Amino acid sequence: QQKSIKINLKLYKTITMKKILLLILITAFIGCETQPKLAGQFQTGQGGVERKLELGSDEDAMFIKEAVLGWAAKEYEKIREKFGDSLIVRRPSGNYTNAVKIENWENYGATYDSMTRNIISIIPMKMSPNGYRFVDVFFNQNVYSDTIIDESRRFERYWINSETEKIAALSIIMEEE
């Protein structure tokens, strides 16, 4: 009987230690669940709601990079699928306009011989709590037409519609010549 109690006590200790270890592991996994780091602020409209920002995805950055470089390469058919049916453009002056219809992009491209864009930075962002997504792109641009070279630095913000996964708006924040 004494031997049986010792074996049962040893078995009890082993089972208890396994339960404690399992509890510690479960607590560690649950405790490691992290919330996205929010920082900065985005003011929506005059006196509007302040939103926090978090870093967006690399997929959004690459999506916009392809559009920015595709435009320079006049690959309109290739990048057409990235844009929604209508595109709102906000100019540096603050004026909002509807962009030229996608079907007419080739006509715009006919106004110059070629274009190069050198991306300096591309930063995807996401607003919290609504999840609006945008990508900020800063780049140098050279437009060649005959012997004229138009050099500029541009900062543009591309808004991505989360429902359609297409570019819905473009804000040209800055354009220096």
Q: Are 53 and 125 in contact (CB under 8 A)?
A: yes
pLDDT (tens digit per residue) in 23-81: 777 776 666 656 667 777 777 666 677 788 888 999 999 999 999 999 999 888 888 88
Q: What is the spatial distance between Cα 133 and Cα 61, in angstroms, rounded to a whole number?
A: 11
Q: Answer for the pair 56, 133: CB distance below 8 angstroms, yes or no.
A: yes
Strand extents, DSSP E, 44-113: 50-55, 83-90, 96-98
pLDDT at 33: 56
- The mean of the pLDDT values for the chain is 81
- HSE at residue 142, side-chain half, CA atoms within 13 A, is 7
Mean pLDDT of all residues in 137-149 = 88
Average pLDDT over residues 107-122: 87
pLDDT digits (tens, 9 = 90+) for 85-108: 778 888 887 777 776 666 667 777
Q: What is the token pair recorded at 87?
A: 């595109």
Identify the CA nearest to 160 among candidates 52, 105, 87, 95. 87
- Per this entry, what is the length of the chain? 177
Average pLDDT of span 19-26 = 76
When pLDDT is averaged across residues 96-125 and rounded to a whole number, the result is 82
Taking alpha carbons only, the member of 160, 130, 128 closest to residue 36 is: 128
What percent of the chain lies above the pLDDT cut of 90?
29
What is the pLDDT, as a whole number, of residue 18?
77
Tell how strand 166-176 and strand 83-90 pair up: parallel
